[in-house]
Amino acid sequence: MENNFIDYVKICCRSGAGGAGCMHFLRDKITDKGGPDGGNGGRGGHIILRGSHQHWTLLHLKYRKHIIAENGEPGGSSHKSGKTGEDIILDVPLGTIVKDAESGNVECEIIEEGQTYIIAPGGRGGMGNSNFKSATNQMPQHHQTGEEGKDDWKILELKVLADVGFVGFPNAGKSTLLSVITAAKPEIADYPFTTLVPNLGIVKYKDYKSFVVADIPGIIEGAHEGKGLGHRFLRHIERNSILLFVIPADSNDIKKEYNILLNELEEYNPELLDKKIVLAINKSDMLDDELKREIAKDLPRVPYLFVSALKKEGLEQLKDLLWKELK
């Protein structure tokens, strides 16, 4: 799964050139010296991105470095326009952003099914000489060549779209929690960085409602500087409506761990702190009621719950809380 999740590609996009306009004068059995009848050239093919929920990774573009669209055809006699070059449509996952590779500027964000964006417009076709006829110039000897296509490098980055993003240190039990509240089957093992890519799952709620959750790879201190998995996962958090901080009950200091997670998000993008935060203290089956009351006294002032993904305790209450915060 890790090798198949591609959330960054750099591609060269070359749109089609416009066809040349035609310079021609009407000649047939009846007409020896007719007027201009040169047609226009066809537009060059666009390269278009289109949002598709059928894709969840950019894998299909990883080995397709050069995207080249068809040129427009030249115009013909008798006012015939040249054929438009065929467009190339690239389906991409929802949450894909487009950047100019040279400047790094964001050009577009694909966030809706069927949304399109012309990443490289085709060149306009040239006008034939029939367009230049006037009262003072009955026999124009002029026509236009077609515009050149665009030839640019673009960066496509994927930011996972989910309602709730799980945030926590490695081994906090996020993947196990995802597996028990959804039908997702992430890789789970007792060592750091088991999760190397975001895993998505759908939580089925009451009355046929549902919401999407994402298990984001674990944070370490210095992640905002690129340490660990660094920026590779932090950008995915930007798309989540709610951040569910998952901290294990056997942590040495739950509040300190919470503050470290909070700081990493703030250092990466201060706007992340504007999102709603819910705290899940996982592995709480090892706590008795008295210990839970002691721990609760020093918890951050955010909605929280004691849960156990392993024993499946507190999960319905967690779904209730997340749904309430979402709505």
For 165-215, what is each residue's pLDDT tens digit?
A: 888 887 778 888 888 888 655 444 444 434 445 677 788 888 888 888 888
CATH class name, domain 1-158: mainly beta
Mean pLDDT of 204-227: 69
List beta partners, residue 280. Answer: 246, 305
Average pLDDT of 109-137? 93
The helix-helix angle for 174-181 and 315-326 (nearest 10°) equals 90
Distances (CA, A) of 234 to 50, 158, 278: 25, 12, 18
Q: Does domain 164-326 have CATH number 3.40.50.300?
A: yes
Fold: same for 1-158 and 164-326: no
Rounded Cα distance between 186 and 201, Å, is 9
Residue 9 contacts by C-beta under 8 Å, 6 or more apart in sequence? Answer: 58, 61, 62, 155, 156
Residue 111 has pLDDT above 50, yes or no: yes
Report the predicted TM-score, pTM, of the whole model to 2 decimal places: 0.66
pLDDT cut 70: percent of the chain above it? 88
The pair of structure tokens assigned to 171 is 């081994």
Kindly tell me if the per-residue pLDDT of 56 is higher than 90: no
Task: Look at 274 and 184; give whichever has higher pLDDT.
Answer: 274
Among 35-44, 212-221, 276-285, 314-323, the least confident range = 212-221
Which contiguous run of DSSP H or E holds residue 19? none
- Determine the pLDDT at residue 198: 66
pLDDT digits (tens, 9 = 90+) for 144-158: 999 999 999 999 988
pLDDT tens digits along 262-273 = 888 888 788 888
Q: Where are the domains of the chain?
A: 1-158, 164-326
CA 303 to chain centre: 30
Cβ atoms 251, 171 nearer than 8 A: no
* Terminal Cα-to-Cα distance of the chain (whole angstroms): 32
Q: How far apart are CA 18 and CA 147, in angstroms?
A: 5
